[in-house]
Each structure stands twice: as C-alpha cells, then as structure tokens.
Amino acid sequence: MPRNTTRLRLAGAVAAVLVAAGVATGPAAQASPEQPTLAQLAQRHGRYFGSATDNPELTDTAYTKILGSEFDMITPGNGMKWYATEPQQGVFDWTAGDQIVDLARRNHQRVRAHTLVWHSQLPGWLTSKQWTAAELRAVLKKHITTEVRHYRGKVYSWDVVNEAFNDDGSYRETLWYKTLGPGYIADALRWAHQADPHARLYLNDYNIEATGPKSDAYYALAKDLRARGVPFDGIGFQTHLALQYGYPTTLKENLSRFSGLGLDTALTEVDVRMQLPASDAKLAEQADWYRQLTEACLAVRRCVGITIWDYTDKYSWIPAVFPGEGAALPWDEQLHPKPAYQALREALS
C-alpha cells in the first residue's frame, strides 16, 4: 500500500509540473471546446431559441440530433391542432402531441403548444354541420378544456387563438366569429387559463410584424382584454417573411408598444423565403434579415424568444404553399448551416 501511494504521489507531481509548463495531459489533450448552441447564446440574454417540428420527420436521426441540441423550445407544427387531437367529436387522440412533448422532455426542452382555436385544419365533423351558438360554444369549451388539461404542467405556453384578424384589421369571418361573435377570443383565453393557470397564453398571427391595420387591431384587442381582466400573457408575431416584400422596419417599435401594455411578445414561426433559385446575394440578404429580427427581439425586454418554423429547408412548408419560393430557413436541405445561421449566432453573441 505505501509503495502504491508513493507512485500515485509521484505521478501527480509529474502531471502538475507538465500542466504548469503548459503541456496537456490525458484525455483533455484531445478535447476542444464546443461552440455554444443558439439556445445557449439566447439564454445569455434571458431568451429562448426554438424550432418547430413535425412527427413524420422524427425518424430522421441526423435531423433530430440537431433539433435536440441547438434549441431549448419546441413547437409541434401540426400534432396539437384540432384535426389531430379531436378527429371525431368527443374522441381525443394525443399520440402526435405526446410524441413531441416526450421528445422535448428527453432533450430538456420546453414546449410552445400550438394551437387551440383556428379556422384551418379543422375536422370534417366540425366544419360540415350548422351549429347554434350554444352548441358551438359548448364544443369549443370542451375542446380547449380537455386539451389544455391533458398537457397541464407539460407545456410552457399556448397559442390560444390563431389568426383572428384580416390584413385590414377586420375580424376574420371564421366559423367561430360568425357563430359566436368576437367574444369567443376572451372566452377561449378564460377557459385555457382555468384548465392550466400556469401556462402562458398567447394570441398569434402573421403580417403583424410591422405597425399597420392588422397589428393595430391586435393592439386595440389587447388593451381591451387587459382592461377587462381577461387572462392573457402575450402576442405571437409569426414572422413569415419574404425578401420580395421588404423587411418590416417597424418591428422593434411594434414589439415595444405591446410590451408597454404589460405583455410578453415572441417571434413564433420565423422563416424568410425567397424566389428560387437562391443566389449568394439573396442568401446574404436573408442572413441580414435574420440578424435584424433577432436584434429587434433582444432590444425589447419583454420579447421572450424566437422560434423558427422548423430549422431546415428539408422540411419547410414553403415550397408546397408558395410554388417557386423556398430556401427560407437557416439550414439547407442537407442540414448544412447557411449564412443565416452564422448571422443568428453573431446577433445572439
């Protein structure tokens, strides 16, 4: 025993001399510090950096490796929408949503849950029937209450009502609005809060990044909801941008005025599409837009985070909806980072 102790002491002394001389020893000699992830960079500012995802792509292991490491917030692209969660009246299916919540938990990520009340992707049983106001109100309350209770304590926030206004600031003529009137928004927020008092509750829409009629409508609604004590925490700016339409230069100002109401804001579905083919010049402009929108969020204290609408062009929704457009995300179809990725890193650094 004493002989072994002497050897250990001698080895330790030699190692100490080598370290003091600047010579690396053991496994550390091969190690190199890894660069921080987008999430880690955002956390230094008290923000999150997230990505949307969808169930079919979760079998792609190269994809899920990046999804599980670069981001600290996940949004299910489709798995929590009405058609997926209540395909038949009163029959609920949590399979898709649970898969993404479980994936996020394994990766120590939080979940922005999306979405409870929307005019699109509704099941046929809901859209094919003529409802009285009393009937539809009961259906809506049951759906919200059941889904939010199922995910109670498992999600950070809910996009409670999605896309309630037209671009001119008028209410969108949805099933909900036409049957229940504008009061459905406050009711939905109240029911969601009752089902999970700790989840952050958002209204979410596109084309509200710049000041204008649509964002003004949300500002007026937000003031009214706050004045009436309706439980409500934030506005989600989807931020689906396109190079050909110009950058929303009043984004920072717009985020700030909602903060002035005591509300959080978030950039919730970010992508920056372009007319194909992509070029170096377009990719450079895209990178600059990603940098600017990130800097705008960082400059407004209550802008709590950024979520890109999936992180790779491989799984982007853009080409299917906007033919001839695409290349909208910070990683390309081969999962290689694009100039936009480096721009995000620089903005967050």
Cα–Cα distance, 173 to 165 (Å, whole number) = 8
Tokens of 56: 């079919």
Measuring CA to CA, which residue among 17, 45, 22, 65 is closest to residue 299? 45
Cα–Cα distance, 110 to 159 (Å, whole number) = 14
Tokens of 254: 């717009």
Residue 269 known to be catalytic: yes
Among candidate residues 70, 86, 147, 163, the one labeled active-site is 163
- From residue 278, alpha-carbon distances to 274, 327, 329 in Å are 7, 7, 12
Among candidate residues 135, 269, 285, 333, the one labeled active-site is 269
Angle at which helix 280-299 crosses helix 339-348, to 10 degrees, equals 20
Contacts of 235 (CB under 8 A, 6+ apart): 202, 203, 204, 208, 218, 222, 258, 263, 264, 265, 266
Cα–Cα distance, 251 to 269 (Å, whole number) = 15
Cα–Cα distance, 248 to 330 (Å, whole number) = 19
Cα–Cα distance, 50 to 211 (Å, whole number) = 25
Q: Catalogue the active-site residues.
A: 163, 269
